[in-house]
Structure 1
Amino acid sequence: MSRRGYTVRIGVLAVVATLAAACGSPGKPVDPAPVGNAAWPQPAHVGGPDSTAGGGTDTSCNPQASLAPSGTSIPDGSTMAKIKERGKLIAGVDQTTYLFGFRNPTSGNIEGFDIDMVNEIARAIFGAPEGRVQFRAIPSSQREDVLTQGQVDIVVRTYSITCARKAKVQFSSVYYKAGQRILVTKESKVTKLADLSGKRVCATKKSTSLAKIATDPAKPVPVSVDNWSDCLVMLQQGQVEAVSTDDTILAGMAAQDPTLQVVGDRFTEENYGIGVPKDNTDMVKYVNAVLDNVRNSGAWQDSYRKWVEPSLGPATPPSPQYQ
């Protein structure tokens, strides 16, 4: 037999042996790999407690008292004149908080109650807001940073006024009052923060909400993330038991997901102000004059009815306090 014939014969025998084995005893089955529940991916930069977040424990000032308005004229050499010469108002805003600052998926525009406040300031400077605002979307943890580094003219981002924050930046008068509550699934039995002892509760980094969670006597487990939309996703995926922050923000989450609900009474008072770089006192006075006009003209009420009233009911603009 030639070498070629020998090779062919060996190949045929191997095939026959394989077929015979297939027809015989199946033998001992191989155990499959163990199957478990795959963990949901977490958002980037998930952290833990921060008892100093937001500086809410500092009571060394009256946080609501701002500089008295000086009208909406624009003097030469003022901060407002420089903005007008540039042709754009640069505003640090949110793009992830439904109802207050979010990107409309249809138009691609950033919209909401806070965005309306930005547009009113741009209207006062330029005569019309269209094309005159450069929105810079920032996480809540960067609100002081972009102001102290001069990267924006204002920050309008559900920004609670505290004495610790006022040591770093200036604030306008209060343009909105909110309060911290709890967001849970409709199946949850939770109605108050005390019910969350030992449970994971989500809030954003450097927020007053995170500080409250971290220092509460019930000892919930704080979970910190960059954006409130990250908290929403973690709650939907069962990675946290609840989200706790201002009812304004929670109302937007509940409006997006009918399986969730806002529960309990307010257990903090959050006074929203417009952040301004520390040295720009003329801009603070100007913004306060614009906000006075917004309160008195009905523009505040129009914006509130459009964005917030369907979720949180009627409200009126807060009265300003001045130094």
Structure 2
Amino acid sequence: MRTRAALAAAASVTLVMLGFGLAGCSGDSSPLPPKAGGPSASAPVDAGAPGAVDTSCNPRASLRPSGALPAPGQMPAGSTMAVIQKRGRLILGTSQDTLLFSSRNPFSGKVEGFDVDMARQIAQAIFGDPDKIQIKVIGYDKRVSSVVDGSVDIVADTMTANCARWKDVDFSTIYYNAGQKVLVNSTSDAKSIDDLGGKKVCAASGSTSYDNIAKVPTKPIAVAKPAFGDCLVAFQQNQVDAISTDDTILAGMAAQDPYAKVIGPRFTDEPYGMATSKKTPDFTRFVNAVLEKNKQNGTWAATYKRWLGAFGAPPKPPKAEYQ
């Protein structure tokens, strides 16, 4: 069995080879910088500030689908979907280091996972071919701006829908319910993050996960790294005592490290949605129609089994909520 030092060295090499330091996971806590008259300028609170929570909306409520889905390859004239169809590919923004959700397969070189399959199902609905998709690996702190500037059509990247980000982008209905937990050494006696007062707990800089560590009453010490892949290396090199982020992401880390375990109940609610442009509400409604269809016909459950089946039988998919 390899030692922890050997694991850390191997992980460091892997991160460099796959570019893991370039992209992060979980929710980015900051909306776009406020602009005069811009959507973020009206934010009643700074949702990126520790302790501040924007509760001005129901972040789970998206745009209701309008009518039946068009047949693949027959998108309505003048629609956003027709523009994508004419281009010949759907452009997805995601990360490449979130094992099980969107990570680069070291053998095929392809980025794959639960999030990627969610987007591939949108491509299937537009083209009749899930492979007509272009994946752009983006920094996790670029997910909002990549949608706003139009460099991607959609972002699927373990991205928490919240009111701060709703001011800049639209979200699909929720396709996965996650929550923040903690990863510690397998020999640790800690049962939850409350037991880590005074201990160094790593999260990605600027993430909601990092902000949430600061809110824990026992005062663990939040340590920022550029991405959660960097947190894993720091953990394996004993530079930090724990890592805290969405339980889905931690499960992927624990699968890579036999000396680690995930502990505690979820202490946050992280509803994942796919981000789309506010300029394309027809596309958001289309995405929601595809999600609802796939929840009903078993596609969502099959996707869960493929990527997350090791954690048990598929739960009921999140129920759609609409504005």
Same fold (TM over 0.5): yes
Secondary structure of the corresponding residue to residue 308 of structure 1 = helix
2:207 aligned with 1:210: no
* 2:235 is the alignment partner of 1:239: no
In the alignment, what sits opposite 1:166? 166
Could you say which residue in structure 2 is the equivalent of 1:115? 116
Q: Given the alignment of the two structures, is residue 66 of structure 1 paired with residue 67 of structure 2, yes or no? A: no
SS in 1 for 2:319: coil
Distance in 1 (CA, whole Å) between partners of 2:92 and 2:271 is 19
The residue identity in structure 2 corresponding to 1:61 is C
Q: Which runs of structure 2 are paired with 1:223-234 in the superposition (5 Å)?
A: 223-234=223-234
- TM-score for both structures, normalised by structure 2: 0.81
Deviation readout 1:121-165 (Å, 9 max, x if unpaired): 0000111112x1110112221111111111110000001010011
Correspondence 1:43-122 to 2 at 5 A = 52-53=47-48, 57-70=53-66, 71-73=68-70, 74-122=75-123
In structure 2, relative to structure 1, the CA distance for the partners of 1:66 and 1:54 (3 Å cut) is farther
Deviation at 1:203, TM superposition (A): 1.4
RMSD value over aligned CA atoms?
Answer: 2.3
Shift of 1:52: 4.5
8 Å CA contact 1:182, 1:242 repeated in 2: yes
State how far apart, in whole Å, the 2-side matches of 1:313 and 1:195 are: 30
1:321 counterpart letter in structure 2: E
Query: In 2, are the aligned partners of 1:94 and 1:137 still within 8 Å (CA)?
Result: yes
Whether contact under 8 Å (2:186, 2:260) holds in the other structure is yes
CA distance in 2, matches of 1:72, 1:206: 38
Q: Does the 8 Å CA contact 2:21/2:227 hold for their aligned counterparts?
A: no
Alpha-carbon offset, residue 269 of structure 1 = 1.2
Cα–Cα, structure 1 residues 44 and 87, in superposed 2: closer, same or farther, change >3 Å?
closer
Amino acid at match of 1:295: K
For residue 282 of structure 1, what is the aligned residue in structure 2? 282
Q: How many residues of Structure 1 are paired with residues of Structure 2 in the alignment?
A: 280
Equivalent in the alignment of 1:148: 148
Kindly provide the CA deviation profile for residues 41-86 of structure 1, in whole angstroms up to 9, marking residues without a partner as x.
99979xxx99954997111111101000124322212111111111
Q: Structure 2 unaligned runs (5+)?
A: 1-8, 23-28, 31-45
Q: 1:240-271: CA deviations, max 9, x gaps?
A: 11111111111111111111111011111110
Q: Secondary structure at the match of 1:286?
A: helix
- Do 1:201 and 1:240's aligned partners in 2 also have CA atoms closer than 8 Å? yes
1:301 aligns with 2:305: no
What residue number does 2:127 align with? Answer: 126
Contact 1:141–1:226, Cα closer than 8 Å, also in 2: no
Q: For residue 297 of structure 1, report the CA deviation from its aligned partner.
A: 1.4
SS of the counterpart of 1:63?
coil
- d(CA) in 1 for partners of 2:256, 2:312: 14
Change (3 A) 1:83 1:226: farther
Q: Is the 8 A contact 2:301 2:314 kept in 1?
A: no
Per-residue CA deviation, residues 183-204 of structure 1 (Å, 9 max, x unaligned), is 0110222221122222221112
Deviation at 1:205, TM superposition (A): 2.9
Structure index of larger Rg: 1
